[in-house]
Structures are given as C-alpha cells and as structure tokens.
Amino acid sequence: MQIARMIGIIIDFGFPGIVLGGLLYHWFHNWTVVWIWEIILAIIAFKTAFTVAGKPDPSGGH
C-alpha cells in the first residue's frame, strides 16, 4: 500500500501546483516564474512522498 500513499501525496500537491501556477502567471505574466514554482513544488512533493512511503502504514495494513 506504500505506492498508493506515495501517489496520493503527489496528487495532493497537484492542486496548489495548478492554482498557484495560474495565479503566478496572472500576477507576473512570466512563464519562468511559473516553472520555478512548479519545480520547487515537485521537489517538495517527491521528497515528502518518499519520506512518508518509508514509514509504516498508520492503519496497520488493513
């Protein structure tokens, strides 16, 4: 079930990526700012997902 948790965490980071990416483009009219935000968010998402996936399942695997 660890892979499902990891994918869920990455999907949860998609919402702020889409919403804040759109707001950043609206505010700055610059794709470079959006790409920097997306890269930073992807690094945080994958780091969080791999950290949590290494921990035991809180539900006990049921």
pLDDT digits (tens, 9 = 90+) for 15-42: 999 999 999 999 999 999 999 999 999 9
Q: Is residue 34 part of a domain?
A: yes
Conformation bin of residue 57: beta by default, left when phi > 0, alpha when psi is -120 to 50: beta
Phi first, then psi, for residue 36 (nearest 5°) are -60, -45
pLDDT at 6 > cutoff 90: no
pLDDT at 9 > cutoff 70: yes
Q: Is residue 60 part of a domain?
A: no
Q: Is residue 9 part of a domain?
A: yes
Structural domain including 7 reads 2-53
Q: Is residue 40 part of a domain?
A: yes
> Distance between CA 37 and CA 62 in Å, rounded?
37
pLDDT-derived band at 57 (thresholds 50, 70, 90) equals low
Q: Are 25 and 31 in contact (CB under 8 A)?
A: yes
Conformation bin of residue 60: beta by default, left when phi > 0, alpha when psi is -120 to 50: left
Q: Is residue 25 part of a domain?
A: yes
Output the pLDDT for position 52.
83
Mean per-residue pLDDT for 49-61? 73
Output the pLDDT for position 61.
56
Q: Is residue 61 part of a domain?
A: no
